[in-house]
Amino acid sequence: MRAQVLLVGLFPALGARAIRILMSNDDGWGELYVRSFFHALAAAEHDVVLSAPAENKSGSSSLDIEPSPRKAPCQYDSCAANSGPIGRNETSPRLNWVNSFPVTSMRFGIELTGPQLWNGEAPELAVTGPNVGSNLFLQVPFSGTVGAASFAAKNKKIPAIAFSGASSGNLAFNTSPEPLRSTLYAELATTLTNAVVASGRPFLPEDVFLNVNFPKVEGQCTQASQFKWVLSRINIGVFSDKDTELCGKTRLPTETSVVGTDGCFISISVGDANDKTTAAADKQAIVAKKLQSLLTCLP
């Protein structure tokens, strides 16, 4: 009895809120944005495993090719030369690299690395990024960040979220101190991840992924509390069926217009994992309801 009370007091969020999360990206496992996010999710008590490319594989969309033995060191000297087709950080075995593409890294994480570290269990959520640079509209089909998330949602039926940040410029995993843009994007991505988890199972409708784009960290947008979340669509909807009704309209704003609006707006598009276009209104409606306490309307 006493032990139970103690446990409940110590870990109020555990159980319902802490889950197994597989993460990947396309800028490489040694890129700081993904490392900051990894640490933020772990600090939020999640059980996180990173499985990402050994080097920058931006723009590789949904390519999936068996990893080949690595000859050169990994990016930023993050692994030694000639260290095989896959590898990990020996002091932090939850940090893993795959010498191939983002989708391949996600696949290895879901099928192999994650279950090895989770007593055979599968991930409950997949996240990618934050990508260094936006993934909006016409960039979406080419993005490895989106490719890996839609692979998890479509091929593995694991709910998935792709994150990208407009503030770019590559940073090594051991950059010290961590620049604000890296820790702020990590904090915002963790906020949305926790909101999705808190909304209950299933975390997302089947065969969808969320495409989330953060505006630049600059000017008035330098603290998490200044950012606002807006439900958006990936592509322009001129000839498309109606979107879910929100903010008094049946047409959601495009993600490009959301991040382009003055005032720290973050776009959340509900993507169809089959073709990386905007998901249908019924699936948008489920996400809108799950995230209603977070969402605002554009001015």
Ligand X SMILES: *[C@@H]1O[C@H](CO)[C@@H](O)[C@H](O)[C@H]1NC(C)=O
Looking at the Cβ atoms of 144 and 271, the one nearer to ligand X is: 144
165-194: contacts with ligand X (CB under 6 A): 170, 173-174
Minimal distance, residue 44 CB to ligand X, in Å: 18
CA dihedral in degrees (110, 116, 120, 121; nearest 10)? -50
Looking at the Cβ atoms of 59 and 115, the one nearer to ligand X is: 59
Minimal distance, residue 97 CB to ligand X, in Å: 9
Looking at the Cβ atoms of 59 and 237, the one nearer to ligand X is: 59
**Under rule CB under 6 A, residue 73 binds ligand X:** no
Report the residue from 24, 36, 78, 278 that binds ligand X according to the rule CB under 6 A.
78
Q: To 10 degrees, what angle do helices 32-43 and 180-198 make?
A: 50
For strand 160-165 and strand 125-132, is the pairing parallel, antiparallel, or unpaired? Answer: parallel
Distance, CA of 163 to CA of 231 (rounded, Å): 14
- Considering only the stretches 86-94, 105-113, 237-245, 266-274, report the one whose residues sit in contact with ligand X under the rule CB under 6 A: 86-94
Distance, CA of 225 to CA of 213 (rounded, Å): 16
Minimal distance, residue 283 CB to ligand X, in Å: 31
Looking at the Cβ atoms of 30 and 147, the one nearer to ligand X is: 30
What are 250's two structure tokens? 């049946």
Residues in Cβ contact with 282 at an 8 Å cutoff, skipping those fewer than 6 apart:
244
∠186-49-211 over CA atoms, to 5°? 50
Report the residue from 92, 116, 250, 292 that binds ligand X according to the rule CB under 6 A.
92
How close are the terminal C-alpha atoms of the chain, in Å?
Answer: 53
Which residues lie near ligand X (CB under 6 A)? 30, 56, 58-59, 78, 89, 91-92, 95, 170, 173-174
